[in-house]
Amino acid sequence: MKRKILLLIALVLVTALLGACSSARKEEAKSGAPQMADNAAGRGESASSAPAPAPAAKPAEPGTPNGGGNAPIDLPADRKIILNASFDVKIKEADDAINKISAAVRAAGGYVQENRQQGTKVQGRRVNMSLRVPAGQYGAITDLIRSLGEVSDQREWTEDVTAQYVDLEERIKTKEVHLTQLHKLYGQGGTIKELMELESEINRVTSDLESMKGQMRVLTNRVDFSTVLVNLYEPGAPVPIQPPKTVWERMQRGFIDSWNGVINFMGNLVVFVVASLPILVLLAIFGGIALLIVRWSNKRFRRPPNPPSPPPYVPPFPPDQNK
């Protein structure tokens, strides 16, 4: 039993030591990260020992790995960089542009993640494409997109995930060492309680390890495959110029337009009345209640009518004194 306890203590100490090493290497990776602008780009192998960043190499030619005619900057060899780009391009023929982009992406080893089209050739079409291309072919694909037409908006940005990558890599190594030690202890046997506790710990560490490996796969895919968003716009066909109309045709057209205007007005009026019915009913109810209150108050506080005033006194006509 004491030997088991000593082995467990040794396992905890080894795990703590590896965790401390992982944290130290993570801090070194963070402190060694260069200050990069929003348009900086690059990718490279993992900086497991976090050395100082290597100086930028000579720009590569368009279409070569890590290069392109308008790539943001060269890719440092010791960094993990995610490249992203977005383009708004006005083109003449949408179908031709889509075919060129799709063929170039497939030839480069990438794929079209999304392709959405809206509109018609008469009204004008808009195409939204989301591309995933190998980082080494990023420059070639972006050069092709710029050559398709007039670029009205362009944005390129990067994400430096070197510290996250190094930290995740070291945590995976630590979990693998921990899991190996647990399997060794489990193989040495022990009491049922000890074996159950070891089995529970093995399951927990295995679950954590698989989750970390999944995160590593996602992060590696984002580094290896750049995301390029392309918004294409194809103007609509011009409206054909109609020949001048005769007087009779103009009269017919004017009458039809006037009649359609009357129909539209009546339709809008009916819609307005029907839509306003709830408000009109509510106003009628409140108006009726207010009218009843006014009538009741007039009856309740009405003053009695004044009695008729007596007729004015008229003295009798005096007798004629001449008689």
Q: Give pLDDT tens digits for 56-76.
A: 333 333 333 344 444 444 667
Q: Which percentage of the chain shows pLDDT scores above 70?
A: 68
Which of 22-36, 142-156, 212-226 bottoms out in mean pLDDT, i.e. has the lowest?
Answer: 22-36
User: pLDDT tens, 210-255?
Assistant: 999 999 999 999 999 999 999 999 998 766 666 667 777 778 888 8
Largest CA distance in the chain: 166
Residue 323 has pLDDT above 90, yes or no: no
User: pLDDT tens, 259-294?
Assistant: 999 999 999 999 988 898 899 889 989 988 988 888
* Pairwise pLDDT comparison (101 vs 21), residue with the higher score: 101
Looking at residue 52, what is its pLDDT? 39
C-alpha dihedral sign at 141, 143, 148, 152: positive
What Rg, from alpha-carbon coordinates, does the chain have? 43
pTM: 0.52
Band (pLDDT 50/70/90 cuts) for residue 301 is: confident
Looking at residue 46, what is its pLDDT? 36
Residue 32 has pLDDT above 60, yes or no: no
* Pairwise pLDDT comparison (108 vs 29), residue with the higher score: 108
* Pairwise pLDDT comparison (45 vs 234), residue with the higher score: 234
The distance from CA 287 to its chain's CA centroid, rounded to whole angstroms, is 50
- Which residues are bridge partners to 231 per DSSP? 88, 128
Contact, 172 vs 216, CB < 8 A?
A: yes
Pairing of strands 111-120, 225-235: unpaired
Residue 42 has pLDDT above 50, yes or no: no
Beta strands in 44-149 (DSSP E): 81-90, 111-120, 124-134
Looking at residue 313, what is its pLDDT? 67
The distance from CA 163 to its chain's CA centroid, rounded to whole angstroms, is 26
